[in-house]
Amino acid sequence: MRERALDLLACPACGGDLLLAYASKYEQKEVIDGQLTCKKCVREYGITGGIPRFVDLAKLESDKAETAENFGWQWTHFTQEDPRYSDQLLGWLQPVKPEFFSGKTILEGGCGKGRHTKLAAEWGAADVVGVDMGDGVESAFALTRHLPNVHIVQADIFKLPVKRAFDYAFSVGVLHHTPDPRRAFTSLVSKVKPGGHASAWVYGAENNEWITNYVDPIRTGFTSQIRQPLLYQLSKLPTLGLFLTTKLVYRPVNAISRSAASRLFYNDYLSHLASFGWREQHNIVFDHLVAPTAFYISKKEFERWWQEIGAEDVQITWHNRNSWCGFGRVA
Ligand SMILES: [Zn+2]
């Protein structure tokens, strides 16, 4: 943790300013081990491995702890980087462009292994705070520690340990895995300064009935319950099916005839996946099977979230015909 992060951090319990009570280990001007104390309520929060810790996984509600653990395993094992991450992120954040990040103070709700936090920093953000609840923070910290404007924090999206100090907050693929996606969204957006912006990307209810009907029972009843190393191996089988289908069917058909391709099942998404290699596809399959909680949000419901926070100039975009991207100005 760099000390400049204290300008953005706040006590998640009372909102008070935090003080670096002591640092027992420094590396390159970064606090590796130490302790933060709230100036107001005097609660204490540890810093270990360079990361301020605001969540005690042992004391967390069981559904949140399970999600944190399962995704945490994912992000400490699928640490690959892919050159398509930036295009992918821009797809989820549309209509935002890299220039938009320049000079802004940014919050990412659910940073996983930090791949988007890193991009935000590289696109010129003044400061980026990446928050995640699980062990993914260790990977995120390692991936971004050369970037002085990145601050990785372990915390709960419902109790964010930050001030209302951000120009832009975004969350991709995370809200729908929390026990209450709408409340997680409201919590994230509450940290954006008036006039700032927010983006969210969520699974759509529309067009995903086949997942909710056939994949979800397997996910909730089996794959999210087994040990992650076993799921890692088992998920190679559906990945093989996906890999061969996208490479041997979706890619060539899309290259030859757009009208024929449009008749293929789930074409927008599967043709998009066709550009990814084995490792990334395995990661995507694993990601779909590991989550203990997943909600599919209808457009109507998603629009309501934005209305409820009083957002202006809201743009909702249908992405790959299976998910929703939202962008708006926070009042
Ligand atoms: Zn406090």
Whole-prediction pTM:
0.90
pLDDT band at 171 (very low <50, low <70, confident <90, very high): very high
Residue 225 has a CB neighbour count (10 Å cut-off) of 12
Tell me: pLDDT of 57 over 80.
Answer: no
Distance 8 CA to ligand 1 centre (A): 14
| Helices and strands (H, E) in the chain, number of each type | 14, 11
Residue 50 has a CB neighbour count (10 Å cut-off) of 21
Q: What is the pLDDT of residues 22-43, one digit of tens each?
A: 999 999 889 999 999 999 999 9
Sign (positive or negative) of CA dihedral 322, 79, 55, 289: positive
Instruction: For residues 50-66, give the mean pLDDT.
Output: 86
Looking at 146-155, 174-183, 267-276, which range is the least confident one? 267-276
Distance 241 CA to ligand 1 centre (A): 51
pLDDT confidence of residue 128? 98
Distance 53 CA to ligand 1 centre (A): 14
Distance 162 CA to ligand 1 centre (A): 11
CA distance linking residue 274 with residue 284, whole number of Å? 12
pLDDT band at 214 (very low <50, low <70, confident <90, very high): confident
CA distance linking residue 159 with residue 46, whole number of Å? 16
Distance 1 CA to ligand 1 centre (A): 19
Q: Give me the residue label for tokens 């109790």.
A: 159
pLDDT confidence of residue 154? 97
Q: What percent of the chain has pLDDT over 90?
A: 77
Strands (E), 164-311: 166-172, 192-203
Instruction: For residues 121-150, give the mean pLDDT.
Output: 96
Mean pLDDT of the chain: 94
Closest CA to 175 of 305, 318, 278, 267: 305
Check whether the bond before 95 is cis (ω within 30° of 0): yes
Distance 43 CA to ligand 1 centre (A): 6
Distance 16 CA to ligand 1 centre (A): 5
pLDDT confidence of residue 63? 81
